Chain A
């Protein structure tokens, strides 16, 4: 996704940058009170997230920097979502030991031992299934994190493997995320990459439908004020995190393969992780299957 795509979607790229600047300004406003107020930290994290997702298509470097800051805030709040953003964009900021400890606390909690069984209170956010699965996916992608043997079994508990709790901006049923986690525990990288990208492609199709809904109110849409994420951060961060774990070219090839037949808007959703993966260390630029997003498309905007 780039400036031209944003324009074709009916949003002036200058408005996208304006939105990024505005949300970043709000984050700075909230930053003044974060020492005294958890609410201020949540607002700062959310504003940085919004700033980052608006910046990504028009200024990728800035977008990733903002999402890294958002990730740090969310991670500080105990949100697995923050851990996942950092895994994707700034894994060096994550301590494998800290991540492992969080995972261990979470799994004790899931096994019924209670939120404070290790003498350390589980962050409130991690009592929520959405944050739990984000943390599991992040931990599965960070080198140096030892995954407990029963994690596969836990991922297949009915409330996980068949769960319908909505997750992320697309409201994807949680079972999809646990399937991604399960795939990442798989020893075969090729199989894992295929399973993860297949799932992300389904989410990308849902993204296309949401964008169409978001356009209903043209005034809000053109100002970037419709409650629709232009960049789906779950597709992006899971895609990039998976590439870091399994190998960037492997995942990139799977994206190329699974995106080819998708509608244009779905291809757009997948184009961002595809682009970001090219900057993951180890990506071979000579890969014979480049994917640069959908060809210029007309969407009747």
Chain B
């Protein structure tokens, strides 16, 4: 059964800070939860479903359910990296539709900029290392190098250039200048991007997202709850999810799981790429965005470089305004998981609450896409399509 219209996003809150030296991870989860519930006009006592991922401390959702004092009929800690929260929205909508719950809280928080000693202590090894580890890690695999392998192959197969990738950073930075909370607010030129130092050929420093502390939360509610709230809600229209891996060691480096999650979401929503007014596209790296736009069908495979040229992604009047908060590239990529902030900016756009300089006029339909894990090895893709309350 389609989840189109089965649930609404009633609350959304992004933590305003980007460097947080004096708080615990659980505390930041609680702060964003409180912010999202206040935004919805609901309380912790109203919550009967909770979703989190690997950034939540403790065993799955149990520790945070305890910390927050939640009584729950649904709980889930599906973890596909940064895309987890899009999947949580889809799963919450299905649970609401099945009558399992009415008010689902989803939180993300982390402190990657704080001392790594705390992070090391938190690492728990009660199982084997992942079965692929021995055949990857010994060869020196920082994440920027794994994404660079995708960019290199994309350039080889399609002639994509560094200047085309740079257009993506230029658009995000253009938007970030209007966001008072963004980690980086300076506009940049294509030359600035391609002249920034190489981190792993062909990716430059400005092809990479920021590292920030913080987080965000959203509240997904049943239609009968949405009707009672004095708050503009956003309708969930469709959601798809798919892992993409090597399929027995024959890895395709130029496509992501969006080739499956996108069509599934569009089919559920009864929409096509041409219908989308605004897109939040996961932007861990510029190449992530470019490959995703192709896979979702905004342009043909291999034509992403051409597509992002000439202001396509720039709000308010580009063909496909994207990441109008500045994205992970410039605003916020908390806990190295960018999916929550992608959802939150789409909610702002549909509520007409984005910064006026970047608000898409008459924004009625939005797409959110998450790319968790790592392109270059294995990734979790998720696509979420949202509309205004009356969609």
Q: Do A and B bind each other?
A: no
Q: Which residues of A contact B (CB under 8 A)?
A: none
